């Protein structure tokens, strides 16, 4: 299968304002796709259009290589915003009622609750659950019918570190142990970094960039830049001294080393011995968070 979800120029206009503007993305089987954007960037509106909960102004949504929307949505589970449940009922009672509401067999309730780590909650009422448990119950609703594709809107928003860790572990288990493809929206970059395989960055309703986790790693991390009067020879010396080929030169002659050099003096002394003058040298630590913040600001 080529893709699970594909959108082409998806747009939503409210009162002549484009809340989502020409967003095109592609989610492939096995992805944990992180949809990243500030609050108000259009993430939830985009999800609601994909799920048929909001009308599309223009553009196209396709699932499972063009399968009919009605069939595809039966293979898609979702958690949009805060989960809704009956607070005076147990987790099992909540899932059982939901199963019957959508025409599914409620015998799957126990299995689903085991998957999300709520199998031992017994007679405890859902209203007394912690925030992390409530989010896991919301994901349990999304798992009814054993869907192939999950769409989770801000599933870790507002959780404490323990709750975040629980939901993160669950998401990884759903992908690795149960073969789910997952679309997760969030603005919590540090958490997405730990689980996401591909990213889509949205800013002010527009898709700014799509990239894989590997491409993100290549764009970020520690780097050192140097300017010398003999860049070609300097590159040879630096490669040999550091034992790396991750050294490149830009058109203006600036040398970039793909890691932070701990002993700058070692480099400058060696270059000096070879009659090479160092005009400028600096180190940067470009974190993924800084990269995303720049992009989410429309950079």
- 120-123: Cβ within 8 A, 24+ apart: 121/90, 121/91, 121/92, 122/90, 123/90
The reply to whether 255 and 201 lie within a common domain is no
Question: In the chain, what is the straight-line distance between the N-terminal and C-terminal CA atoms, in Å?
Answer: 34
Q: Is the pLDDT of residue 260 over 70?
A: no
As a whole number of angstroms, the distance between CA 227 and CA 1 comes to: 48
Does residue 297 form part of some domain? no
The reply to whether 58 and 183 lie within a common domain is yes
As a whole number of angstroms, the distance between CA 223 and CA 207 comes to: 27
This prediction has a pTM of 0.79
The residue range of the domain holding 240 is 220-291
SS3 104: coil
As a whole number of angstroms, the distance between CA 113 and CA 95 comes to: 8
pLDDT computed for residue 298 by the predictor:
65
The reply to whether 224 and 192 lie within a common domain is no
pLDDT computed for residue 24 by the predictor:
96
Q: Is the pLDDT of residue 185 over 80?
A: yes
The reply to whether 132 and 61 lie within a common domain is yes
The reply to whether 61 and 187 lie within a common domain is yes
Pairing of strands 221-228, 278-286: antiparallel
Residue-wise pLDDT for 228-244, tens only, equals 999 999 999 999 888 88
Question: What's the pLDDT band for 259 if we cut at 50, 70, 90?
Answer: low
- CATH assignment at residue 264: 3.30.70.100
């Amino acid at each position: 299968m080529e893709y699970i979800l594909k959108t082409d120029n998806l747009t939503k206009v409210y009162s002549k304002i484009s809340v989502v503007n020409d967003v095109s993305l592609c989610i492939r089987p096995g992805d944990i796709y992180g949809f990243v954007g500030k609050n108000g960037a259009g993430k939830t509106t985009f999800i609601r259009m994909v799920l048929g909960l909001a009308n599309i102004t223009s553009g196209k949504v396709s699932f499972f290589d063009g399968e009919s929307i009605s069939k595809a949505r039966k293979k898609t589970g979702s958690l949009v915003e805060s989960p809704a449940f009956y607070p005076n009922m147990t987790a099992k009672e909540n899932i059982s009622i939901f199963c019957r509401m959508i025409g599914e067999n409620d015998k799957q309730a126990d299995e689903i609750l085991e998957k999300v780590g709520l199998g031992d909650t017994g007679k405890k009422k859902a209203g007394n659950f912690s925030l992390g448990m409530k989010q896991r119950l919301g994901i349990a609703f999304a798992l009814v019918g054993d869907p192939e594709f999950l769409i989770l809107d801000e599933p870790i928003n507002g959780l404490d570190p323990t709750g975040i860790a629980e939901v993160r572990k669950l998401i990884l288990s759903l992908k690795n142990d149960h073969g789910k493809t997952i679309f997760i929206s969030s603005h919590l970059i540090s958490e997405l970094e730990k689980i996401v395989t591909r990213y889509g960055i949205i800013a002010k309703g527009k898709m700014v960039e799509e990239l894989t986790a590997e491409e993100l790693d290549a764009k970020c991390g520690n780097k050192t830049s140097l300017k010398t009067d003999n860049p070609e020879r300097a590159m040879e010396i630096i490669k040999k001294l550091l034992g790396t080929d991750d050294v490149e030169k830009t058109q203006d002659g600036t040398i970039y080393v793909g890691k932070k050099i701990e002993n700058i003096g070692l480099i400058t002394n060696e270059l000096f011995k070879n009659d090479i003058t160092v005009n400028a040298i600096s180190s940067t630590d470009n974190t993924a968070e800084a990269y995303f913040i720049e992009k989410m600001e429309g950079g």
